[in-house]
Amino acid sequence: MMQKTALLFAGQGAQCAGMGRDWAAQFPTAKALFDRSREILGFDLARICFEGPEEELTRTENAQPGIFLTSWVAFQLLQERKPDLSFQATAGLSLGELTALAAAGVLSFEDGLKSARQRGQLMQEACERTRGAMAAVLGLETAALREVCAVADVDMANLNCPGQIVISGETMKIAAACELAKAKGAKRAMLLPVAGAYHSRLMTGAQPKVKAMLDALALNPPSVPVISNVTALPHGGPEEIRQMLAAQVVSPVRWEDSMRYLLAQGFTRFIELGPGTALSGFVKRIEKTATSEKGSGRDVLVGAVQEALLSAAKKAVGPARELRCTVDPKTGDIQVWAKLVVSEIVVSKHEQISFFEARRIKADSQLGEELEAEVTPPGFGRIGSQYAKQALMQQIRQAEQQINQVGEITLLNVADVPSLEATVTALSKHP
């Protein structure tokens, strides 16, 4: 069975002097793209990527287009060496989301490169107007770190993987937050060498300018799902993409949730394209806990029913307030209850409890052909039942696939010439 493959693209921080130089020396396609970048941007970005110095490359307005360019070259080289390359989703961390969108055909290479440069300039301006910093906190639970951020008045910026979260905010407050985090039990809390407080409220000044930049772009619907940093779910159409990319500037990057979404959808091969291998490292740490959290077939089916009910309830009467589910340990029958918001007037008078029961759903995932399902708030008649039935069956089929799928995860990367060759070889052996 063919593996479901996701392409991953790095964000700012992955840059290093010399990135892309060997590609340009060995592959005409790479050299042509680096040469083209000079024409598009009007300055020699390739020289900065190849030679540095690090201080110049690290500047946000250079690092962001440099990483976009190098990652795009990696993508093009992989497609050139492996013309039958097939992938079913893309994702990118922060800036990398632009590359992920370009790989899915949402915007052109030229527009993506210009956008990365302009985004970097706007964020650099915001950094210079504020006194911000970022810090990596290791070995502290997310809930505990949220408490630290609330007390210190800083923001969570990057939720990368279990035990590694980046916080962002005013310099003095970040220093205080680091001390609070260590007092709470963090293994380490260290300042990062960045120009400012990315993905925090301190970037608010850049947000409307980024939105204006995005509004001027011609965007296409994505050819494959592209995971949003803001929602950790696939992007919608072009207008939603513009909104989410603008929101991303001041919102936390939900990378761990994004990877968990792809794992839950059955993705078992991840190819990281561009400088560095940090994203592969994150996936390794996420997949370890994801494997232990997948649980038994019963757990997967319960989760599927929960998702189906919530989806059906929203379709029928609006958002659900509460959702709980039980499984009969003897029969495997699943029962789900949701407390629904029917309308403010009704809810103010009395709580409406919706009962949903899916019979013949066994914990061993052996499902009957027929399904009885309905969403019925008392006194409001039978509503949304057909939608509930269809949604539930779809979720159950996906759950069965997840139960039966092979759990091995393959991590590949294209960061230099040797890793490109290794990835091409691996893809040839295991299409």
Q: Which H or E run includes 336?
A: strand 334-340
Instruction: Return the bridge partners of 4, or none.
Output: 267
Strand order in the sheet with 164-170: 155-161, 164-170, 132-138, 188-191
Q: What are the backbone dihedrals phi and psi of residue 134, each rounded to the nearest 5 degrees, phi first? A: -135, 155
What is the residue whose two structure tokens read 């360019």?
69
Q: Between vectors from CA 13 to CA 10 and to CA 17, what angle results, nearest 5°?
A: 100
Kindly report the number of other CB atoms within 10 A of residue 351's CB atom: 12
Q: Is the dihedral of CA 99, 101, 104, 109 positive or negative?
A: negative
199 noted as active-site residue: yes
Distance CA 249, CA 203 (A): 7
DSSP summary character for residue 329: T
Give the integer Cα–Cα distance in Å for 55 and 58.
5
Task: Residue 417: count other Cβ atoms within 10 Å of its Cβ.
Answer: 15
For residues 230 and 15, give the distance between their C-alpha atoms in angstroms, rounded to a whole number.
Answer: 23
Paired tokens of 345: 């007037």
Give the span between the Cα atoms of 56 and 284, in whole angstroms: 32
DSSP 3-state of 409: coil
CB-CB contact of 264 with 386 (8 Å): no
| Catalytic entry in 71, 94, 258, 354 | 94
Identify the H or E element spanning 309. helix 297-317
CA dihedral 284, 288, 294, 296 (to 10 degrees): 140
**CA–CA distance from 107 to each of 10, 40, 65, 100, 354 (Å)?**
18, 15, 15, 10, 44
Among residues 426, 410, 412, 424, the alpha carbon closest in space to that of 77 is found at: 424
| Catalytic residue check, 235 | no
Are the CB atoms for 256 and 161 separated by under 8 Å? yes
- Give residues with Cβ within 8 angstroms of 286, minimum separation 6: 161, 162, 256, 259, 260, 263
Identified catalytic residue from 37, 115, 168, 199? 199
Q: Are 195 and 127 in contact (CB under 8 A)?
A: yes
Active site residues: 94, 199
